[in-house]
Amino acid sequence: MKIDKNVRLSIKNLSLSFGGVNALSDVSLEIKDGEILAIIGPNGAGKTALLNCINGFYKPQKGEIYFNGKRVTRMRPDKLAKLGIGRTFQNIELYTGLSTQDNIMAARHVLMKQNFITGAIYFGWARQEEIQHRRIVEEIIDFLEIQSIRKQVVGALPYGMRKRVELGRALALEPQILLLDEPMAGMNLEEKEDIARFIIDVYEGQGETYPDTPVLKNGIKNIILIEHDMGVVMDIADRVVVLDFGHKIAEGTPAEVKANKKVIKAYLGE
């Protein structure tokens, strides 16, 4: 296989079916370094199913997924996380019994080295490592402006805040590629603007404002975004892929996709 250095993630002829229902049929797409890719489509088009295939939740029956040129099809989710794929969920999936800070800290799991013995002894090695990672978690908390809920249990937080905590948790994994499943669903305009700003800031990188956190300092240069709000998609996405009934029906810049007849048909009918 010819490996294009600029292609971070490439999906080839992916098919996924549940019984007789084809969730995805022969979908191929690529995400290149330095682009925000939006996946759009009507309800049930297979957008979330595609994300679930990428991070190992679903095992596609056909097709292959390559991450950094390496075949990762049907790999376990925790191994993919270790390789650098981070994501958020459409329906928030936080650890409801933990505080905001611990939720984000829990995502540092793959980057920490202590085991159950050093953890149980705590003093010395584990404490040192906890402090070092806590500093990074605090930078993420600062970045997302959730300082005031740092010690609150997330189960009791309002929806918009939980969405932010989940974004923070995905960032704390320091992924190379970030999958965002409807990060703005159910939000009002102001909240959407906040999240859009966070996404752009994460993408661009914040330099020395957050010196200890590489992911905030350098940014995440590959973001896949599922979003229904066309205004947001047109504004922040470099490229758009349109799914309908599990088929990829269009791909291109936001302007191209907007003018595509098939897309208009999928959304509005004949």
Partner 1 sequence: MSLPSGIFQESYGQDMAILRTKQQWIWLLIFLAVLFTMPLYSSDKIMTLATMMGISVISVLGLNILTGYCGQISLGHAGFMAVGGYVSAMLTANLGWPFWAALPCAGLAAGLVGILFGLPSLKIKGFYLIMATVAAQFIVIWLILQFRGFTGGTDGLAVPRPELFGYVIKTKGAYFLLVMIIACLATFFAKNLVRTRVGRAFIAIRDNDLAAEVMGVNLLSYKLLAFFIGCVYAGVAGSLLVHYFAFADINMFPFGDSVWYLAMLIVGGMGSTTGAIFGVITLKLLDEAMILAGPALAAAFPAIAAQAAASLSLIMRGLVIVIFLIFEPRGLVHRWELIKAYFKRWPFSV
Residues that bind partner 1 (CB under 8 A): 55-57, 76-78, 81-82, 87, 89, 93-99, 102, 105-110, 112, 114-116, 119-122, 126-127, 129-131, 134-135, 138, 151-153, 169, 173
Helix, strand, or coil here: 244?
strand
DSSP H helices, 144-226, are 159-172, 189-204, 214-218
For residues 129 and 238, which CB has a smaller minimum distance to partner 1 in the complex?
A: 129
Burial of residue 69 (CB within 10 Å: 0-12, 13-18, 19+) is middle
CB of 93 to partner 1, least distance (A): 4
d(CA 209, CA 100): 22
CB of 195 to partner 1, least distance (A): 19
Tokens of 267: 């959304």
For residues 95 and 245, which CB has a smaller minimum distance to partner 1 in the complex?
A: 95
**Neighbour tally for 21: CB within 10 Å:** 9
For residues 39 and 81, which CB has a smaller minimum distance to partner 1 in the complex?
A: 81
For residues 102 and 229, which CB has a smaller minimum distance to partner 1 in the complex?
A: 102
Write the single-letter amino acid at 155. Answer: G
CB of 143 to partner 1, least distance (A): 17
CB of 114 to partner 1, least distance (A): 5
Task: Single out the residue of 23, 42, 7 nearest to residue 250, CA to CA.
Answer: 42
Q: How far is CA 253 from CA 159, 186, 197, 259, in A?
A: 32, 26, 20, 10
For residues 212 and 235, which CB has a smaller minimum distance to partner 1 in the complex?
A: 212
CB of 129 to partner 1, least distance (A): 8
The distance between the two most distant Cα atoms of the chain, rounded to a whole number of Å, is 68
CB of 120 to partner 1, least distance (A): 4
